[in-house]
């Protein structure tokens, strides 16, 4: 693999939001060192909002990167490791002179139990704190993986070695994530956790008929601001964000797996005004419902 010019990915443009897909020649995994050679040739692409159809990890040995993940500002340095989920929107703000690694891999390459741990987390932002020992371990493992990826493709057991190194790395990420998640949960009162879980349960049951944060707050007998602060402190995202994401996910399912018209889907999701639903969907998905259905199918 030659990463000298640009990462082994291809860009699929869907409306204003570009989608970066893993190149078929990458075998579902890409690892490239920072700083990237000839970065200036495509730096403008990185600062535009874009998505990846795969997991993406950022690990720095030196320097700092500021970025936004689903509109949430994130700062990455050598004491942290960021793993973004497929479909999340990235927008790089600045990358001060830095040294490190960017790892991309398909979800199908990692253990299902680990994937469930990531995807079922209350937080949609997986940002780990690393101590010096963990930083050294990450650096060593990513270096070994980089060497394995650059071996001759005919080398015996090459693919097995790559798979083993990737899974070993992700298992360590998962272990640190679970430990820090447990620590984080202990930092919150039982009431905060219980309120967040009750909100999520109500959201699942009522999202298509109840889209105002204030209505959920009334049912939980708290103020709207208190509910929002509580949910955001536990999950990292506001009540409004959770509502919008739940509606968007169901709209996408109906567009892909049914033949309902856009008007019918809007009504089913609780929107009498189809034009408003179309604008809302476009803002969240980056393209219109019609284009999403056409491209996905």
Confidence band, pLDDT 50/70/90 cuts, at residue 173: very high
**Mean pLDDT value of segment 257-283:** 92
**Mean pLDDT value of segment 93-105:** 85
Q: Which residues 6+ apart lie within 8 Å of 146 measured at CB? A: 31, 33, 101
Confidence band, pLDDT 50/70/90 cuts, at residue 12: low
* Residue of 65 and 4 predicted with greater confidence: 65
Confidence band, pLDDT 50/70/90 cuts, at residue 17: low
All structural domains of the chain: 9-187 (2.60.120.280), 190-296 (1.10.10.60)
pLDDT of residue 139: 96
* Residue of 154 and 61 predicted with greater confidence: 61
Contact 18, 47 (CB under 8 A): no
What share of the chain in percent tops pLDDT 70? 85
């Amino acid at each position: 693999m030659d990463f000298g010019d640009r990462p082994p990915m291809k860009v699929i443009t869907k409306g204003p939001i570009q989608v970066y897909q893993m190149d078929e020649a990458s075998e579902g995994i890409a690892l490239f060192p920072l700083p990237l050679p000839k970065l200036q040739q495509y730096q403008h692409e990185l600062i535009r909002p874009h998505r990846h159809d795969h997991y993406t990890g950022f690990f720095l040995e030196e320097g700092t990167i500021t970025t936004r993940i689903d509109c949430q500002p994130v700062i990455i340095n050598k004491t942290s490791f960021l793993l973004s989920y497929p479909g999340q929107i990235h927008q790089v703000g600045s990358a001060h002179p830095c040294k490190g690694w960017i790892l991309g891999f398909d979800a199908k390459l990692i253990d299902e139990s680990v994937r469930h741990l990531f995807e079922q987390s209350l937080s949609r932002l997986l940002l780990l704190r690393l101590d010096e020992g963990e930083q050294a371990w990450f650096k060593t493992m990513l270096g070994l993986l980089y060497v394995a990826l650059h071996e001759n493709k005919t080398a015996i057991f090459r693919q097995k070695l790559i798979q083993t190194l990737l899974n070993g790395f992700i298992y360590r990420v998962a272990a640190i994530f679970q430990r820090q998640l447990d620590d984080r949960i202990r930092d919150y009162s039982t009431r905060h956790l219980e309120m967040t879980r009750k909100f999520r349960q109500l959201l699942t049951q009522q999202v298509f008929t109840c889209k105002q944060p204030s209505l959920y707050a009334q049912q939980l007998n708290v103020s709207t601001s208190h509910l929002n602060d509580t949910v955001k402190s536990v999950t990292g995202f506001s009540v409004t964000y959770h509502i919008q994401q739940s509606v968007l996910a169901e709209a996408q399912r109906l567009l892909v797996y049914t033949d309902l018209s856009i008007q019918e889907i809007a009504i089913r999701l609780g929107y009498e005004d189809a034009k408003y639903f179309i604008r809302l969907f476009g803002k969240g998905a980056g393209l219109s419902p019609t284009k999403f259905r056409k491209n996905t199918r």
